[in-house]
Structure 1
Amino acid sequence: MGGLFGVVSTKDCVADLYYGTDYHSHLGTRRGGMAVCNETGIQRAIHNIENSYFRTKFEIELNRFNGHYGIGVISDTDPQPLIVGSHLGTFGIVTVGKINNQQTLIQRAFARKSYFSDTTAGDANPTEVVAMLICEADNYVDGIKNAQAAIEGSCSLLLLTDTGIYAARDRLGRTPLTIGCQKGAYAVSSETCAFPNLGYEVDRCLGAGEIIHMTPDGWEQVSPPGDRMQVCSFLWVYYGYPASEYEGINVEDVRNRCGAALADRDDINVDFVGGIPDSGIGHGLGYANRRQLPYRRPFVKYTPTWPRSFMPQNQTMRDLVAHMKLIPVRQLIEDQRILFCEDSIVRGTQLRDNVQILFDYGAQEVHMRPACPCLIYPCEFLNFSTSRSTLDLAGRKAIQDLEGTEDRDLASYAIAGSEKNLAMIDRIREQLHLTTLKYQRLEDLVTAIGLPKAQLCTHCWDGSSYSC
């Protein structure tokens, strides 16, 4: 995933940029970056944040940076921001998304004898690919439109120029951008949780494909939104921060409703409810409150010295970090029938280990209630649930066990309550050593979010989506 933050101010913006970008740290673990524009040009800093927090790495920039316009990024893909010199002028750029046709775009550029100066893991930097597309046009707005039209997948971006910041949401709005305002300053952010403590009020969300230009005096729409939106549902289920809202809908509120929906379809007898930290907590509270059951914390998360484990590239290290951070509380586990709510089950390996710990500590029963349906289709639009092999998804591995191949009759397995769907879930239950396993129904998740299904991307669960 990743997150963007930009600010334009009548006074120095560096502190707001530093803290505003830091409020996106839950969205990535690889790199952070900031750039500010001042009378001497654009200053930039990029740091690796795999083993240290953003604030620690970028604190030094508070003393050497200055400027009234700035952009920041938390990235799980390429080093950003990039500073580009072009016929349009010098600009900084940060992006979030996934370019599925990147190789085609690169070969197209090579055919015109273009080149790329920055590489990531031996390939062209995807943000530089976007910058190249922008520079094909005669102005920034047409350039952004050109990039959005050429990209298959998704790309939200911020451009830092000497006249202000251009902000563009991806064509189908899969990743959000929201404008915040205070006296003498405007900001744009992937996460609205960045606004309150910095003194910004939410102004409005950008529409799908919309482009705006921001200055300290305000913002103007330079290209209107399209007529279709499919915002990623996982914003509310998993990777969004509880204090954030998208399309005016709060994350924690949705998670509470998801838990309540799971409870409405359940009658299992348990001693208490828990949530797998952190994102499962809101779902668990919603479940417990609806069924009037005790909520307890048999797992607590230890974070002070462990690096974040959202999306490390090394899966073995990711599993280790997640395991080491989650500490069981034996006194709350022994002889208990426990029901857990979890945001989702992706691979299931971490969860299987956690379940075994519970039984090792004397749990009588362990029941799991994921807040979304079973993941069957890898994400094509962001970097969530993306893998080199679909068999890394617990759902696809179960289908492989049942069918002898992992891609047969997927639509039938995605239908909640169907014979094949129930067989898949039971196979996953067996693999995870759970007493019972029941997934959220897709229609209940859509209702909990509160947007029409046509405005939500649900591809991971049912394979349906618009394509760019």
Structure 2
Amino acid sequence: MHESCGIFGVFAPGQDVARLTFFALFALQHRGQESSGISTSDGRELKLYSQMGLVSHIFTEDILRKLGGHIAIGHNRYSTTGSSQQINAQPFLMGQGDNVMAIAHNGNIVNSEALNAELSSQGYVFKSSTDTEIIGQLILSAVETDWVKRIRYAMNRLKGAFSCTIMTKDTLYAMRDPLGVRPLCLGKIQGGYVVASESCALDHIGADFIREIEPGEILAINENGVTSFKQPISRRALCIFEFIYFARPDSQIDGQLLYSARQAMGAELAREYPVEADLVIGVPDSATAAGIGYAINSGIPPAEGLIKNRYMGRTFIQPDQHLRDLGVKLKFNPLRSVLEDKRVVLVDDSIVRGTTTPQVIRLLRKAGAKEVHMRVCAPPITNPCFFGVDMATRSELIAAKMSVPEIQKYIGADSLGYLSLPGLIKAVGLPKDNFCLACFTGEYALPVQLEMDKFALGNQRGNCCQMPSPGS
């Protein structure tokens, strides 16, 4: 399961904004590893550099030196709309003359196909296969000349999840969709302000956290400071998986530290599904905190029985079939001396398709574990996500096809316990109405097409391969 993207923006005269953006994106690398990019403005010209790959692989001192200016936005991508190729790397540069802008987006627009058809019929040409370009073209299509009004026009036409940073020649803008599906926060740094998907990015560059950007809010940041433009909202729908899995444990969302919330999930699991065992293992790294929470509450000692290769999946060299067959062995290596003849509680953040979990359990048994009791920090996932998570179709979700006893048998566990929805909400410590819980309940915050095609926009345009430019 993958989140869509990480975004960042900074307005800071006198600061090396390209370098600040680089380190912020480095902190947000977990939100997307397909491509990365930085766009800057010096008040006269917008510059852009983006490539496929990790932040640390893409940018050099020479590249950052050429990205001068006092405003910047940056993006790490994991694709949920559009294929993984250079054409879709963000930020995008769009427009021309006084209408030039750069945009970076985290989320997923559920009415993107309809908007694409409408804008195409009006003569707008799309060069990528992402919904981010649709947001940009929608902004540029507005009849208003004021940028805030143009952004508000687009916001009112868009359906779905969209946290965005937008940059003109002289102003940084940030917007968050009216449901607040994806996180976005505001911070202050010497000489200016920053916005980021997560507060951990602020910590990495020495910025002070100010507050969350509210659902439906637009911020304009320039030489006059920060100006906020809000609108009434009917409900909130923050993705609950930001707390369970996506966001870094050292980030804060809605005043809650993610590490503490995940530890509380483990504690709730121990209360709901106690078992006699010798040690508790949290699947690294996403369930480490939950494993500690389970251990503390149950009195069963925690242990590090699985060692994770943290560079797995970060190479473009594909394994041959023999290495593919090893599967999880490439990602996790069990410690036999820790596991042998032990009854193990294995804590994980979720079970989605049910492809990885059986392999992990087999690894533990092969390393000598006598019993393996599976505990999951989320309720059974029975419905797909359409708001910026590349999860699975409903037919691929194991909990949509099997009962809990059937899943237990399939994964090869001695027992299986999923955290209840009330237990999850209690652990998070925020009102249930703050969240989108559709993956558990099937109750979506917006009407959705139940089988959306991730590559629909690319299919319409034949996956053309030209990057949007200032003259587009």
Query: Distance in 1 between the 2:325 and 2:113 partners?
Result: 31
Match of 1:135 in 2: 140
Match of 1:445 in 2: 424
Match of 1:328 in 2: 334
Quote the offset at 1:322 in angstroms.
5.2
Query: Distance in 2 between the 1:235 and 1:323 partners?
Result: 27
Match of 2:56 in 1: 55
Match of 1:365 in 2: 371
Answering whether residue 410 of structure 2 is matched by residue 431 of structure 1, we say: yes
Quote the offset at 1:59 in angstroms.
2.3
Letter aligned with residue 386 of structure 2 = E
CA contact (8 A) 2:39 2:49 kept: yes
Match of 1:3 in 2: 6
Quote the offset at 1:22 in angstroms.
1.5
Query: Distance in 2 between the 1:185 and 1:271 partners?
Result: 52
- Among 128, 142, 153, the alignment partner of 1:119 is 128
Query: Distance in 2 between the 1:217 and 1:135 partners?
Result: 24
Match of 1:419 in 2: none
Match of 1:65 in 2: 67
Taking a change above 3 Å as real, the CA distance of residues 241 and 317 of structure 1, as seen in their structure-2 partners, is: farther
Larger mean Cα displacement after TM superposition, 322-331 or 94-103:
322-331
Q: Which aligned pairs between 1:288-367 and structure 2 lie closer than 5 A?
A: 288-303=295-310, 305-308=311-314, 323-367=329-373
After superposition, give the CA deviation of every residue in 1:4-37 in whole Å (9 maximum; x if it has no partner): 1111102131211110111111011211111000
- Among 91, 98, 103, the alignment partner of 2:108 is 98
Quote the offset at 1:40 in angstroms.
4.7
CA contact (8 A) 2:23 2:204 kept: no
CA contact (8 A) 2:184 2:195 kept: yes
Match of 2:350, SS? coil
Query: Distance in 2 between the 1:318 and 1:466 partners?
Result: 38
Answering whether residue 207 of structure 2 is matched by residue 200 of structure 1, we say: yes
After superposition, give the CA deviation of every residue in 1:359-401 in whole Å (9 maximum; x if it has no partner): 122211101111010000101211242x3x3221111232xxx
Match of 1:35 in 2: 39
Match of 2:162 in 1: 155
Letter aligned with residue 6 of structure 2 = G
Quote the offset at 1:358 in angstroms.
1.2
CA contact (8 A) 1:260 1:287 kept: yes
Query: Distance in 1 between the 2:95 and 2:326 partners?
Result: 43
The count of aligned residue pairs is 427
Match of 2:174 in 1: 167
Letter aligned with residue 398 of structure 2 = A
Quote the offset at 1:223 in angstroms.
3.2
Match of 1:114, SS? coil
Quote the offset at 1:461 in angstroms.
0.4
CA contact (8 A) 1:163 1:215 kept: yes
Query: Distance in 1 between the 2:10 and 2:323 partners?
Result: 35
Q: Which aligned pairs between 1:209-248 and structure 2 lie closer than 5 A?
A: 209-215=216-222, 218-224=225-231, 226-248=233-255
Taking a change above 3 Å as real, the CA distance of residues 39 and 167 of structure 1, as seen in their structure-2 partners, is: closer
Query: Distance in 2 between the 1:323 and 1:130 partners?
Result: 41
Match of 1:279, SS? coil
Larger mean Cα displacement after TM superposition, 316-325 or 133-142:
316-325
Taking a change above 3 Å as real, the CA distance of residues 211 and 321 of structure 1, as seen in their structure-2 partners, is: farther
Query: Distance in 1 between the 2:291 and 2:422 partners?
Result: 19
Query: Distance in 1 between the 2:429 and 2:405 partners?
Result: 30
Letter aligned with residue 66 of structure 1 = G
Quote the offset at 1:308 in angstroms.
4.3
Quote the offset at 1:218 in angstroms.
2.6
Answering whether residue 78 of structure 2 is matched by residue 76 of structure 1, we say: yes
Letter aligned with residue 290 of structure 2 = H
Structure 1: gaps of 5 or more residues: 399-423
Taking a change above 3 Å as real, the CA distance of residues 319 and 349 of structure 1, as seen in their structure-2 partners, is: farther
CA contact (8 A) 1:6 1:158 kept: yes
Match of 1:209, SS? coil
Answering whether residue 434 of structure 2 is matched by residue 455 of structure 1, we say: yes
Structure 2: gaps of 5 or more residues: 80-87, 448-472
Taking a change above 3 Å as real, the CA distance of residues 262 and 246 of structure 1, as seen in their structure-2 partners, is: same
Match of 2:276, SS? coil
Answering whether residue 256 of structure 2 is matched by residue 249 of structure 1, we say: yes
CA contact (8 A) 1:333 1:362 kept: yes
Match of 1:408 in 2: none
Task: Output the aligned Cα RMSD.
Answer: 2.1
TM-score for the superposition, normalised by structure 1: 0.87
Letter aligned with residue 441 of structure 2 = D
Quote the offset at 1:228 in angstroms.
2.1
Quote the offset at 1:64 in angstroms.
1.9
Letter aligned with residue 223 of structure 1 = K
Taking a change above 3 Å as real, the CA distance of residues 293 and 246 of structure 1, as seen in their structure-2 partners, is: same
Letter aligned with residue 251 of structure 1 = L
Match of 2:41, SS? strand
